[in-house]
Structure 1
Amino acid sequence: MKAFWVGDNRNSPNWGRAASIALCELLETRFEITGTITGELFVLSSSDAGFVRTITPNRYYPFFRSAWERRGRRPYAWYIKLEQLFGAHDFISGDPEQSLKSLLANRRRHPVLQRIYKQAEAADIIVIDGDGDIVFSNPPRRQTLFILAMIELGLHLRKPVCLVNCMVSDCPTSGRNDQTLNAARRLFSKCHLVSLRDPESLRYVRAEMRDANAAYVPDSLFAWCSEALAGPSRDLGDLPGFSGSAGQAHKLDLTRPYICIGGGALAASHPDLARTSYGKLVDAMQRLECNVYVTENDTPDMYLRSVAKERGITVVPADAPIRTCASLLAHARLFLSGRYHPSIMASLGGTPCIFLGSHAHKMGSLAGLLQYDERKEFCAIPDDAEIEHIVSFARNYLQQGESLRARIREVSASLCAQVAGLPQLIANSTIH
């Protein structure tokens, strides 16, 4: 069966690309992947298929995109206003039906849109990786609207559509967007499968979208538990890092126990505050007599480089070899992060995690999924008092040693077994 995969992030410069690699490996056990859409197309600033009906010829679209990114400054602001005056607009809108009409009307002029259409048309099934992108925020996320538009396209072409790896949530900061939720409610009810990666998302969908064929399957990244992540280290000392003090590349010193600290999306939206807070967090973790390494799990976490530079510690960059990054976290004594997939990587080897806040329920739900006794989610940018609370948690986890690690590995292995059934679940959903 030929599958068109929407949301292929295998080449993204962040550690979440591991989940896409794992999903690809799962899908290929049952399907032939004949077309893909990368996650770059979900975001207007990185997309080669965004604005349509521009005055600028399509072959110069990178220039338009560059001007759009600088639209807050003259003369770019004038140019963008002129383009919009003559009808230029994002083909993705708040109404998925309108997004489909725009794609169909403009696909022959825009090669990327034509490629999307042709790949979907040639496939037997459309598989969409929802990841953490389905959040009903105000204003709506383009990522969410893009996913809804791709469901609309699949239904237009009369193809089975399956959503997988999904987190679905209201936005805790801006509140619920009822228009986007209503559109999702209509479209989810027509999908052959809506696979949710955590029980909280499953409860949400069953409450708000009762006609959806919803199921719970853990995140695809748990499938990597079948690799030797819990076994002997795989050349971790060769993992590229660079010194914060001198900016020089060198090997990590893993002869002593070590703790890893990563960033988070919510923290990255306030980099100055995060830089100060994470600096204090590093200082506090160094009191636990372990080496401390900073992991730049996504490009917005670059503020961590300043933290590392000020303290002369090593930072592992976002584009480091991903399987070795997974092994690094799996062998740490402790991992602190507001990032979902790096926390799963750590859990595969039994590494206890201290969960920091995010834009939605993902970190709290992961603590529940991994069956932590106390499912605590700390503030994304902890203050002094909360840092001391984190230190207390860290000491407790370190004192539990191998008994806690074994329990986390056991839960991860159980989740791995559940993930293995995803390809067959997708296939079964297409049988009427």
Structure 2
Amino acid sequence: MKIFFVNDSISNPNWGDRAAATSLKYMMKKLGAEITSVVYEEDLGQSHFKNKPVNVHSNDKSSVSLKAIAKQIVPPILLNIKQKIFQEYGRNTHIDIIPQRWEEAEDRLSYIVANRDIYSDLLDAINNADVMVIHGDGCMTGNGRIPRAELFLAFIAKRYLGKPVIIVNHTADFDHQGLLRFAQNVYPMFNDVVFRDMTSVDRCKALCTGRYAPDSAYYFKPIQKNDWLKVARRTTYFDVWPDIACFDPADSYVCLGGSSIFYYVKDQVDPIAEYIDLIGYLQTIYSGQIVLTASDIRDEAIFRKIAVDLNLPLIGLSTPVQQSVDILGNADAYIGGRWHPSIFALRGGTPVIPITSLTFKMQALIKMSGLNCEPIDALRLSQAKNYIAKQLFSYLNQGNELRSRLSAWAQGESEKAWSNLDYLKVV
């Protein structure tokens, strides 16, 4: 079975995007599918999807590197439909085929059909595949180009080429009316809709017959602590240049993470000051180590400053996914607003103290895991430090009983995550 894979988020440095795409591609390979063409996450945001000149070859070393990584998981000849705005050529370069409003979708499709020679790479790649698989991930929110591009590519595949299309492994937050219009028209076309949280399933019942399957990132499992310590206690083991993460994993430690909301409130709050105040308080009541985890570019900018000011270990963005899973899965607790690091933590039985994110996903994850803890306002961490401390010690007092329950639940989610791709079993 040939797959046209949309939103290969391995092109995103975010830990979770890398983990989810890597595991999803591994699952497709194990099911016997062949990924014959790929649209990376960065393409969804930038590409005009035009054909490349035949006499030009990509010198983009980052893309070559990404393909090499992908081939470790799925080794086909990939068609990387990648053409950035500044690499455009030919006629009508000002045309963006991705509509800004749903009402433009038919006209954009008509334009593509009328200029098929310009877009033949894209159309042939879709047509030569048996199924288009869209990795929705956390993209379906707001009204940016990435979610609109995903839905418009699905529209092309269904409306023009009559191809099966499924969207899997995703959260859907259609509070923006513009993206909602896209969803209202495209979601009923999908052959299968798989959400990674039950809140999305409930909220999208009017749009489609969606179902739940756990995030593919549950595939990653942390190493047992006794086995891990044999190598993890070596000097500089956690240092991934340019960051330094000098801590002893044999001793107690809590991991602190960021939130996607910080991208959108840069002028409303100083997250560095909020975290520094929270950390100062935790250090007066908790005898273990505080480990900063930067799973996204925005978090890294915040935590690098804090790491220097407070001389704290920082697990940086370039840390390998599996090593990040090992660190979070063996912590006393994870305090943060990141979906995938929370999954990494829960996979090892580490309880999560959630802070708010851009969407409802943290509330959804905490509810599914059975933890009784409301997300804390990411913009007012200092005000919530007493509540955070109380919750931390509540978790610590529950000890191995809580950790065993959480790890068993997460193991079950890992096994059920394969159902993201049930549609491929019957095609």
Is the counterpart of residue 233 in structure 1 residue 228 in structure 2? Answer: yes
Q: 1:382 aligns to what SS in structure 2?
A: coil
Q: 2:15 aligns to what SS in structure 1?
A: coil
Q: Which moved more, 1:155-164 or 1:183-192?
A: 183-192
TM-score normalised to the size of structure 1? 0.81
1:37 corresponds in structure 2 to 39
**Aligned 8 A contact 1:51 1:89 in 2:** no
1:426 Cα offset (Å): 3.7
1:146 corresponds in structure 2 to 149
**Aligned 8 A contact 1:91 1:99 in 2:** yes
Q: 1:189 aligns to what SS in structure 2?
A: helix
Is the counterpart of residue 281 in structure 1 residue 278 in structure 2? Answer: yes
1:223 corresponds in structure 2 to 219
Is the counterpart of residue 204 in structure 1 residue 210 in structure 2? Answer: no
CA distance 1:334–1:383, shift in 2 (3 Å): closer
**Aligned 8 A contact 1:259 1:335 in 2:** yes
Correspondence 1:1-400 to 2 at 5 A: 1-16=1-16, 17-30=18-31, 31-43=33-45, 47-49=46-48, 64=86, 88-93=94-99, 94-95=101-102, 96-104=105-113, 108-109=117-118, 114-135=120-141, 137=142, 140-155=143-158, 156-171=160-175, 176-177=176-177, 179-206=178-205, 208-209=206-207, 212-225=208-221, 228=223, 232-233=227-228, 235-237=231-233, 239-241=237-239, 249=244, 251-271=246-266, 273-287=270-284, 288-301=286-299, 302-372=301-371, 374-400=372-398
Q: Which moved more, 1:182-191 or 1:336-345?
A: 182-191
Letter in 2 for 1:6: V
Unaligned runs of 5+ in 1: 66-85
**Aligned 8 A contact 1:164 1:195 in 2:** yes
**Aligned 8 A contact 2:201 2:212 in 1:** yes
1:19 Cα offset (Å): 1.0
**Aligned 8 A contact 1:29 1:423 in 2:** no
The number of aligned residues is: 385
CA distance 1:152–1:363, shift in 2 (3 Å): same
Q: Aligned equivalents of 1:231 and 1:213: distance in 2?
A: 45
Letter in 2 for 1:189: P
**Aligned 8 A contact 2:245 2:315 in 1:** no
TM-score normalised to the size of structure 2? 0.82
Q: Aligned equivalents of 1:151 and 1:216: distance in 2?
A: 20
Q: Aligned equivalents of 1:229 and 1:114: distance in 2?
A: 50
CA displacement, residues 311-359 of structure 1 (integer Å, 9 cap, x when unaligned): 0111111111111111111011111111111110111000111111111
**Aligned 8 A contact 2:47 2:85 in 1:** no
Q: Aligned equivalents of 2:114 and 2:274: distance in 1?
A: 49
Q: 2:227 aligns to what SS in structure 1?
A: coil
Letter in 2 for 1:39: E
CA displacement, residues 156-211 of structure 1 (integer Å, 9 cap, x when unaligned): 2111101001211133xxxx31x4323312211111100011111001111x21xx
**Aligned 8 A contact 1:166 1:196 in 2:** yes
Unaligned runs of 5+ in 2: 60-82
Letter in 2 for 1:300: R
Q: Aligned equivalents of 1:347 and 1:276: distance in 2?
A: 28
**Aligned 8 A contact 1:51 1:91 in 2:** no
**Aligned 8 A contact 2:48 2:84 in 1:** no
CA displacement, residues 118-162 of structure 1 (integer Å, 9 cap, x when unaligned): 321211000001111112x3xx22121011111112112111101
**Aligned 8 A contact 2:243 2:316 in 1:** no
Q: Aligned equivalents of 1:106 and 1:285: distance in 2?
A: 61
Letter in 2 for 1:273: D
Q: Aligned equivalents of 1:186 and 1:364: distance in 2?
A: 28
Q: Aligned equivalents of 2:204 and 2:226: distance in 1?
A: 38
Q: Aligned equivalents of 2:420 and 2:351: distance in 1?
A: 27
Q: Aligned equivalents of 1:332 and 1:121: distance in 2?
A: 47
**Aligned 8 A contact 2:259 2:358 in 1:** no
CA displacement, residues 284-314 of structure 1 (integer Å, 9 cap, x when unaligned): 3323111111111111111111111110111
Q: Indicate the RMSD between aligned Cα atoms, in angstroms.
A: 2.9
1:418 corresponds in structure 2 to 416
CA distance 1:256–1:242, shift in 2 (3 Å): same
Q: Aligned equivalents of 2:423 and 2:2: distance in 1?
A: 16
**Aligned 8 A contact 1:278 1:381 in 2:** no
**Aligned 8 A contact 2:331 2:345 in 1:** yes
CA distance 1:270–1:186, shift in 2 (3 Å): closer
